[in-house]
Every structure is written in C-alpha cells, then in structure tokens.
Structure 1
Amino acid sequence: MSTAQRILTTFEQIAGGPVPVGVRSWDGSTAGPSDPDVTVVFRNRRALRRVLWSPNEIGLARAYVSGDMDVEGDLFALIEGPAVIERIARRDLRELDRHEIRDIANNFLRLGALGLPPKPPAEEVRRRAGAKHSKDRDAEAVSHHYDVGNDFYRLILGPSMVYSCAYWATPGSGTLEDAQFAKMDLICRKLGLTKGMRLLDVGCGWGSMAIHAATHYGVDVVGVTISHEQRELALKRVAEAGMSDRIEIRLQDYRDVADGPYDAISSIGMSEHVGDAQLTNYACILFGLLRPGGRLLNHAIASVAPIAPQAKSPQTFVDRYIFPDGELLPLSHTVGALERAGFETRDSEALREHYALTLRSWVDDLRGSWDEAVELVGAARARTWLLYLAASALSFERGRITIHQVLAVRRHESGAAEMPRTRAGW
C-alpha cells in the first residue's frame, strides 16, 4: 500500500466512510479518484501528527494553516460536497471499537506519524488573560481579529470597507459595493434618521455607516470602536469625506459611553462579541443612551439551534483563530435581552441568504488578490481567512447559522413609539 493510499484509508476510518478526494503524499504517491475536484496534499508527517493529537477541526486547521497540509483545487468542494472535513472534525472517536482504533493506530505508526505534538501555528489564540468579556480581554480579542492590517481588509472588503452582511434588494443584481450601500441605507431608513438627529454607531468599524448616515441623512454621528487600526483609518476616511465636523470616532468601549441621549443607535456586527452573560447589560446600556421614542437596530449573526453548554476551552477553529470569545446566540436570546432592558421589539428581518452571497464575494476577492494578501499578512494568516470565509459561506447556505436585523424602540411613557405602521414606512 502506498503512503498516499494509507493516508486516505486512515482518514476514511476516522470519517466512518468513503472520502472522495485526491491525496498526494510527501513521497509523491497519490490515491483517490483519477481526476478529483480537490486534492489534499500532505507535505510532511507533521501534518498527520497534528491530526493525531487533535482528531477534530483544530487538528485539521493547524495542519492547513501551518502549510503542512495544502489543498489544490476547489476548497468549497472539500468542505461541502460529501462534507469531508465536517465528518472528520465532528466524529466522536469514542464511537469506534477497539479493532478500529487499533487499525488507525497501526496506520499512523507505519506512516511514521507518531511523536510529540507539534507546536500550534502562531496565528492560534491560546491563553487568554482576565475574566471572559471583561473590557481588557474583549479589547485583546478584538485586536486579534480586527488589527490584522487595514490594507488586508481592503483586499477582501473592497472600497466600502464594510465588514458585515450586504443586502441585495433584487437577488443577483448589482455589485458588492451596491449591496453594501443598500444595507446601510436600509438601516438608516429603519432607524428613521432625519437631518439634525444624533446617531451612536456601536462597533463602528472603519466608519462606513457613520459616513453614510452623515452624508445621506444629515445626522451627527458618534462612532465607537476598541480597534486602534479601525479608528485610525476611520478618522482618515471621515476627513476625506469632509465630515469631520459631523462625525466623531472614538476609541471607546460601549460600556464607557455616557453622553446620551441619542436619537438612534446602530449596532452592526458587534453584539456577537458581547457574550450571553453580558447581553442584558449591553441592552440596558443602549436603552439608557436612547431618548424616549429612539430606535435601536441590532444587526447580528445568530445560531439556529439551542446553545449547548460550552467547554472551558472550546475546540473550534473560529474560537481559536478568528473570533476569540465570540458567541453566536439564538435570536430569542437577543430579543429577550432587549425586552428585559425595556425595549419594544418592532421588527426582525433574517438576511441569511444575503450573507452567503457576501461571503462568496469576499472569498473571490481574497483569491483574486492572493499574492498581495500573503505579502501583507503572511501565508498562514491568509490561509486562516480563506478557510474561515469559505466555511462561513457554506454555514449560511446550509442554514447552520443565520443573521437578523432586530429593530427595537424605547417607547414614550404614554406608549407611543413614533413608528410607521408598516415596513413600507421605511
């Protein structure tokens, strides 16, 4: 049996069934279909040791991010199709009998894959100081994700620099830039923005929403972020737009904002960082910053299944490499927190299919600028992002996760909410 065939056989044992991909080994041997859509290349034995020591998605991610394992062909075909990665990553090896475990162990032995666990790639987050969702720990987590480099984000996001779900009013029409404009405009209309209003943009990113609202709706905006690099570029973009007198960008945690009342608050792709334990406090803080009659638009990714008890050290690729301490919560948790804070929920719109399209566009942008991306952040980080964006697109397409725009209002004591009677009103 060739080295490549033994590798393929071992992974089929772990996956519990056929793995219809090509395999190429460090010795040049190949196995699998004669003309595969995707070939997994094992450049050295260390790739196998990574999986042996972490037989789940962490081991696979470490092998890919480090470059010990590579993918030639369509990455989407590897992740979707027969869901090869998922089957291996989610397989509970405790389900195997002792004969299967013995065979797998013997194959690893013959492949020379036994040995000490390799050091994880530098891009992986491991130890985290402080209590979860404390201000200092949140700042560290946000920095890990957002302070990668503004030029790198520009390659992926394009000129809009909007890092959240776009909105195609007519499916399949318009560019990503058009769809991001439409999304920001939709939020402004839902918030009922008019000239002279005061808007707080929580988690303002690179200032795109603030600039849009000030330019097209004549509002004064305070944007807050805890990313140094985001604030630096946001200030530059605000100045270039001639809006420095209308927009203030602060390096500030939302928990430290104390200059309300605001007429409206937008929170776009930010509450995923808040955490379930802090969600009601988050809602109460925003409620306190709004005037009576003011509206909040909370735009956030959500889970579509009940939350399982979380381990102390989650063994997930996203937690270790992308969003440390991030939590995707069911819509019911978000609405419940808003209502406990005193808000009246007036509308919720799911945009799941829109985010799948957005992510596919970002994948295309990253692939199309691959050499420049590697030059900016290194091959390992570029691999991390390609895997994350592709897997996320498939998660939205399959309905494993979704995204909602929840519109809530702080009502007047009389009960009046100053809301249009129908969605046509915005």
Structure 2
Amino acid sequence: MTEVHSDVLVEAFYGDGWDSSKRSTVRPISREEAARRDAAGEPYAVVLAALAQELPVAVLHVAWTEHYLGIWRFDSLGRRVFEADLRRLEPGRLFLRYLSEWRYEQQDLPDLSDEAWRRTIDLYPDGKNSQGLYPRGWLGGSRHTLVDLPRDLWWLPVPEFGRWESLLTAPQFGTQGPFKLVEETSDIALRPTTGAAGPFGWRPPVPAAAPWPDELFSPGSRFTHRHRSEPLTIEPVRTVTDIALPTGQLSVCDPSYLPNGAERDPLVIEVPPGVYPVQETGASYEGEMFGDRFTARDTYAVRLLVSEKRTASWTMAVPPGKDVRLLRDGQYFGFGVDSATGCFVDSTARTELGRRYMRALTSGGGEDVHDTEDGYSKVTDDATGAELVSFMLGGDGVYPVWVGRDDTGEVTAVVVADRFEVGYLEPLTP
C-alpha cells in the first residue's frame, strides 16, 4: 500500500522484521499473510519506505497476542530517532507505555550512539510517570522529572490493519503529516531489497523469568559466578523451620511493613491450609583475604514447599492492582523491602504477627520470637496458630515471588530468590 508523506510516496512492506545492517526486510510476506497474522495475533512487521529508497521512514512491530505494538522511526541516514512501546490494554485503545527519543547533533554519530541527546518517558495508566533527559547521551549527566507529555496523548486508537497513517502522524512521535493513502504500485523495481532468512531484529517485550528455581533447589547443579573463580555446586537443600498457614492465605512481604499497615495490598498466594517446610538453598566457596584462606556460604533462595509433586511451570506472583501487560523486558512485580528482610506469613494474622515480630526485634528478643540459625525467625499466634517466618535478603529493593504449579495448576512451591547473588549466576548444567 502506498502512502503520501510530504509529497513523498511511501510504501508498506510486510515481513518478519527489518535488518538494519542489510537494509532489507527480513523474510518478506504478502499483505494478505500479514492481515491473517494480524487477525490471529501472530507477530509481523510493517516496513514503511519511500519509493526507490532503501531506508525506511518507520518500522512497526505488531504482536497482538502479547498486546504489543512497537514503532521505530528513522532519520534520512537510517538512524533511529524515536522508539515507542504501545500496549493494547483496552478494546480499541493503545497505551503509550514507553517512549525513547534520540537527536544526533553530529552527522557522523552512528545509530543509537551513546553520545546522542536522549529523552526517555515511562508511563503508567494510574498516573505514575517519569522522564529522563540525557543532553550528552548515556556518557553524560542526566535530569529526571515528571513527564511533560499531556495525558490526552497517553492513549491512541488501535489502527485498522493497513491504515498506519494514524500512528505515523501522531504528535507523540514527532512525525509530520498529513499522510494520504493511495493505491499500491505493482512495480517490483521500486521495492526495497528483501533479505533471506535472518533474525527478526525485534521481539515483543519479555518480563523477567524465574531464575532457575528447579536448578537452584537441585543438589549437584553447577553454576558459574561472576565474582568467583571456580564453579559453584548447589548443596543439599536445608529445611530451616516450618510454618503454619491455617487459612491458606500466604503473604510474602517485608515484616517491618506489617505493624503499621504499610503493606495495605499485600501479595497473597492461596495454598491449601496446612503446615509447610521453609527451605533454603545455597553453595559454599573458597575465598581469600589478606593472605588468609576461608570457606564461606551464600544463600541463593528461600522457598515454601507446598507439595512434593513435580513442578510443571513457574509464574510470577502479581500484587493486587498490577497488570503484567505493562512489564517491559526483564521487568517484574514483587514486594518492596526496606529492611533487607522478607517473610512468609498467614495473611489474616499478618498485622498482629508483624507487631510482635517488630516488638521483639526492637527490644532485643523475647518469648514471642523463636530465632533459628542464619537469621531466620518465627512468630506464632497462640489464638489461631498462624505463623510468620522471616528470612534475610541481600539488600533493599523489590523482590519478585515465583509460584510453582504442577500439571493440574495446583501450587507446589513459592520461591524468593536473592536477586543480588542469583544475578551473578549462570547454570553450567542443562
């Protein structure tokens, strides 16, 4: 389909993606095949290029099953000047989740140069937003403010297949118009060079995946560590205590939030009422300091073991009011930590158990709290039998919670990994 952009004819080509190095469409497909994929939610790309030009004006990435539409827009040298991440959160409407803008003040700067002026915008439908300005690119200083993009520009209508002009003329993306649709030319000589099989060059954003929970709790599994010279071997899983959950409502949170109700919308996972072991996994390593050799051990994850059945899948636990469709590459939801401590607790008794935990902690101990070795503590509510078990974490921040399920969908385990130490690991065994 041909479009007019400032009196320049622009054609739409379809395929798996755009290869910037080869300046070609990756695995071209027909318009009919693209329309079929669009209706089925399968991924495809739209390359919009001026007639007889090998560089595109823009590339659209569409993956409706993932609720995603991405936009790349290019300058006359083929350098990216805008990148937008749009999410179909409502029927007929796209939300502008993320926007990145580049300005190349020097003609010889390459595409996405670290020296290029840059602006980033992060948006959430609830109004939370941030804007980063990098006048000298990633290599210089930055300034972070609230977004100055009017809220009526946070949403766009979902374009009808083939009617891409509404996206390309949107003021959010700095494009010029108007575009006018005209009939597609049949002159194959005017088409951009098309490439053979190759990488897509894009994929829908993928949130963080569970960090090897099966391998971490499989004794004998081997990992490399970024800051260790020798591979590490996972040691036998250690049961540190057990926890009673008489209501089956498991909360995972920072216990210091509980007494004052700071954890108003706790992350809650439903399990069958019962008593479950709390286990940890880790590995020992040899170190040296000031010429002295020593042996130390790191804990990588803590889990509540609900069932001995084989875990068929792992999913991220999502706090109330959060939408996984808003997560970008590698992002996750979790529970906030300000005390380098997390806990498993029966949700219905969390406030009282939190008060008793903090009272004992600030007064130096007491009968309410039963400490175990290596920083684990347990508090029991005598009236209900509900319990809280706390565990140490590597620091403050946000920690994801991973829920294992068997092939029937029943919970098998709940895992909290130390996001600092586990981030340094790479598995050596499949």
Q: Same fold (TM over 0.5)?
A: no
| Structure exhibiting the larger radius of gyration computed from Cα positions | 2
Give 1 or 2: higher strand fraction.
2
TM-score in terms of structure 1 length: 0.26
Give 1 or 2: higher helix fraction.
1
Q: Which has the higher contact order (CA 8 A, sep 6+)?
A: 1
TM-score in terms of structure 2 length: 0.26
